[in-house]
Amino acid sequence: MIYIFFLALLLLDRLSKYYINNNFVLGESEIILEGVLQFTYVRNTGIAFGLLAGRGWILILLQAFVIVLLLILKLRFFPSEMLINLCFAVLLAGAVSNLLDRILYGYVIDFLDIGIWPVFNLADVFIVAGAAGLIILVLREEFRAIARKDSS
């Protein structure tokens, strides 16, 4: 089930980038919701906010290392917890898709433009949502452990 969810998210991001890459010219924008969302095709050779731009192989190695580290942490500490597995699936789908962009193109295809933030993609949304979910779930468990300890 988790693997299917991971693959579905990965496919969703890959298809969205394929659509943008094949239907937009670099820099082209199309309004989706006036004043809220537009698609703007940009290429990001860096990481968040364009940091480390142009460092291709270093970013590929760094991103691959983080993915492997996340898998090790997941398998070692959270082997069968459903909600945590879902968060890892979301996070890893985004990370793997952006890594595929870097390997295939040398940049990440970004297109979601909300005007007040740098342009991003679905994979970025997955990474943030998955990481936020993991943080919330781990903190919740820590608070529960503290409460159990205090009530003993």
Beta strands in 29-144 (DSSP E): 29-33, 37-44, 108-113
Mean pLDDT of 84-92: 95
Q: Which position among 13, 101, 110, 113 bears the catalytic label?
A: 110
User: Is it the case that residue 42 has pLDDT exceeding 70?
Assistant: yes
Element (H, E) at 95: helix 82-105
Provide the total of helices (H) and of strands (E) in the chain, helices listed first: 4, 3
Q: What is the pLDDT of residues 53-87, one digit of tens each?
A: 666 677 888 889 999 999 998 888 877 888 999 99
At 52, the pLDDT band (50, 70, 90 cuts) reads low
Q: Which position among 13, 101, 113, 124 bears the catalytic label?
A: 124
Strand-pairing partners, residue 38, are 31, 113
Strand-pairing partners, residue 29, are 40
Q: pLDDT at position 43, please?
A: 95
Mean pLDDT of 135-146: 86
Does 124 participate in catalysis according to the annotation? yes
Domain ranges of the chain: 2-141
User: pTM score > 0.95 for this model?
Assistant: no
